[in-house]
Amino acid sequence: QLNSSKCFILHRQIDYLSHTVSQFGVKPNKEKIQAIMNLREPTTLAAANKFLGGMSWYRKFLPQFASVAAPIISVTNLTK
C-alpha cells in the first residue's frame, strides 16, 4: 500500500539521501554542502577520520578527491 505522504509525483526535483535528484542528474544537497563548508578543520586523528568518512559520501562530486585527501589519509594511517 502506498503512503501518499512519501510519494513524489510530478516534482521537478527531490532530495534523497543528501542528494538532489532532477531531470538533469544527481548533485549534492545545497544545505549539506554549506554545512561541510562551515566545518572546522580537524585537529585530532579521530576528527580527521570522521571528516574523511563524510567526504567520501560526496567523492564522486569532488574532482581529484584521492589526491586532495591523500595527505590526510597518510596521517590517519599512522595509527594503524
pLDDT in tens, the chain (80 residues): 888 888 878 889 988 888 999 999 999 999 988 988 898 988 888 888 888 888 888 899 989 999 988 988 888 876 55
pTM, whole model, 2 decimals? 0.63
What separation in angstroms does the CA of 79 have from each of 48, 52, 61, 63?
A: 12, 15, 28, 27
pLDDT digits (tens, 9 = 90+) for 21-31: 999 999 999 99
Looking at residue 72, its pLDDT comes to: 84
Looking at residue 78, its pLDDT comes to: 64
Answer yes or no: do 48 and 80 share one domain.
yes
Answer yes or no: do 25 and 55 share one domain.
no
Answer yes or no: do 49 and 33 share one domain.
no
Answer yes or no: do 75 and 51 share one domain.
yes
Domain that holds residue 73: 41-80
How many domains does the chain fold into?
Answer: 2
Answer yes or no: do 6 and 32 share one domain.
yes
Q: Which residues pair with 22 in a beta bridge?
A: 13, 25
Separation between Cα atoms, residue 63 and residue 70, nearest integer Å: 13
The alpha carbons of the chain give a radius of gyration, in whole angstroms, of 17
